[in-house]
Every structure is written in structure tokens, then in C-alpha cells.
Structure 1
Amino acid sequence: MSAQNKDELLSEAVRLREQGHPEQARERLLALTAAFPDSVDVAYQTAWVHDVLGLEAEAVPYYERCLQGEGLPEEDRRGALVGLGSTYRVLGRFGQSVEILRRGVAEFPDDGALRTFLAMALFNTGEHHEAMQLLLRLVATTSDSPRVQRYRPAIEHYAEDLTRTM
């Protein structure tokens, strides 16, 4: 199988997943994975389709593979970091979830999805204060609600320390 065929087959598998045929997409992606075991884009799409199908445990090695390799486009890397962090969390692997999501936030500090999933994982590890800080800062900086923006200074102030009353 040539690289050109790989790209065409990968595009077809992504289309199938997007059109609501994840099982067919999975079959094609598993065949591509066998043919191109070092392909980070194939690994990423294979992880994604397993997540779509609720096969989180099966998604993990593909996420790990695509993040260890080189050449994954930035947007896919963001998706893989969110996907793996979220998947670890769903599987009850909270420490690993926090670790991968912290890595994602370090690489992409402005990514609200990564910060949101990190907050959820921090909650699961009992780090409630930091989880609330992340969420309050996210709300204050990303909400387009005029009411939220009106109170933004107060929200940011309390994000520093929720135990503070003044």
C-alpha cells in the first residue's frame, strides 16, 4: 500500500466516522494501522474512532502512539491530548489524566477545552481548589455574557483564593 493510498483510505475512514458510520471507519482504520504502524495520523484517527464507539480502553494505545511520534499537526495534537486525558479520566486513571492534561495546557495555554478537562480530572483527584481556579478563570476570560464580564474583576479575584471573603 502506497502513501497516496494511505491518505485516500484515511480520508475515507474519517468521512465514514463523520457521517455516522464509526464501525466501518474502525475496520478501515485497523487495516491502515496494520499497514502503517508508525503513522501518527492513522493512530490519532484510530484512537478517535474507538472513543466514538465507547471503546476507551482500546483507544489509549493509539492516543499514546500518536503523541509519542513526530509530525502530528497542531490541531490533531490538541485533540489527542484532550482525547487521551479525557479517556484516562473515564477509565478512572485520574493521575495519568491530570498528567497528560497538564502537559496539554503547558503546550497550549489558551486552549479552554484542555483547561476544562484538566479541571474535571483535578476534581477527581481531590484538588478541588485548583479545579475551581481553572474554571473561574476560564469563565472570566472566555464568557461573552455581559453579566459575567461585569463581574469579571471579582471572579478573577476570588479565583485566586475562594476561601477569601474580602
Structure 2
Amino acid sequence: MDNATTIRHLREQGKHLEARDLAAALANAHPDNAEIQFEAASVHDYLDEEAQAVSYYLLALKGTLPGERRREAFLGLGSTYRTLGRYLEAETILRKGLVEFEEGNEFKVFLAMTLHHLGKGKEGMELLLRTLAETTADRHILHYRRAINHYAKDLDARF
């Protein structure tokens, strides 16, 4: 079992503090190992230690992560920045994630929240409405998809 798998295994067993300690030690010993950096970031994030997670996320994204892990790292870092009140950095990372993973609707949702914090609530709400209309399976919302998309274009329009 490799180191990153060991960390994930500990987390699956609910041993988050043990996983954090191992991840931090391994991350310090192997700064170029993107997988270990990602695991260290994730476990710190899970334990509400967002400030410590940032540097691990940054190192993970500098390295080579497989597609899904890279996607999770972009979202994790963007969400962490938002949680820490670092809204401009959150917006930048979430937009980069959305460029790299165009189908990443999760980026749109977290970006909408970030835009709200930046005083760009209209842009955020429009993004959120478009995402909802495009991705929902709820038949009641689908019934109003056309109207929701219309309002998403200009939320302030009056008729």
C-alpha cells in the first residue's frame, strides 16, 4: 500500500487525527509528491484546519495529480480560500478550475457563493440559476427551466 493510500485508509476508518499527523509528516518529507500533498490538504480541510490546508493544496496543484484528484484539489483550495475570507483568491482558483474542467458544475456553485461575498450577487445568482436549470433532474424545476434560464440572463429585468 502506498503512502497516499495509507492516509485514505486511515480516514476511511475514522482515524482522522492519525491520518493528519501521518500526512503532515509525509508531506514535509516528500514536498514533490502531489498525491501526498493532496491527502494532507484534504485531511486538514476535513478537520477544519483550513489555514494549514492551503499550502498543501498549492503544492498538490503544482505537481501531477490524476484528473479527478486535480479537480478535487482545485475545488478544495477554492472552497478553503472562501472559508478563510480570501475571496479574490477563491474566485481566481475556482475560475481556473472551471477552465480546466469545463463540465465542472461544482465550480459554478462555489464560484456563485464567492461572487456573493465579493458583492457580485447578481452575477453569482445568475450563474447559480443557469447551473440549476442545466443540471437538475427535479421535474418541478424542469417544468420552469425556460423561465429560470430567462431570469438567469437578467435577474433584474422587469416586464
The alignment yields a C-alpha RMSD, in angstroms, of 1.1
Gaps of 5+ in 2: none
Secondary structure of the corresponding residue to residue 115 of structure 1: helix
How much has 1:124 moved relative to structure 2?
0.3
Cα deviation digits, residues 66-97 of structure 1 (max 9, x gap):
1112x201101111111100110111101101
Q: Which residues of 2 match residues 114-153 of structure 1 at below 5 A?
A: 114-153=107-146
When normalised by structure 1's length, the TM-score is 0.92
How much has 1:107 moved relative to structure 2?
1.3
1:43 alignment partner AA: Q
- Aligned residue pairs: how many? 159
Q: Aligned equivalents of 2:12 and 2:131: distance in 1?
A: 29
How much has 1:34 moved relative to structure 2?
2.7
Cα deviation digits, residues 33-91 of structure 1 (max 9, x gap):
1331100010000000000111100000000111112x201101111111100110111
2:152 alignment partner AA: A
Correspondence for 1:3: none
Correspondence for 2:49: 55
Correspondence for 2:29: 35
Gaps of 5+ in 1: 1-6
Correspondence for 1:15: 9
Q: Where in structure 1 do 4 or more consecutive aligned residues deviate above 4 Å?
A: none
Correspondence for 1:100: 93
Q: 1:64 aligns with which of 58, 69, 83?
A: 58
Secondary structure of the corresponding residue to residue 2 of structure 2: helix
Q: Which residues of 2 match residues 84-99 of structure 1 at below 5 A?
A: 84-99=77-92
Secondary structure of the corresponding residue to residue 99 of structure 2: helix
1:10–1:32 CA contact under 8 A, matched in 2: no
Correspondence for 2:67: 74
2:31–2:59 CA contact under 8 A, matched in 1: no
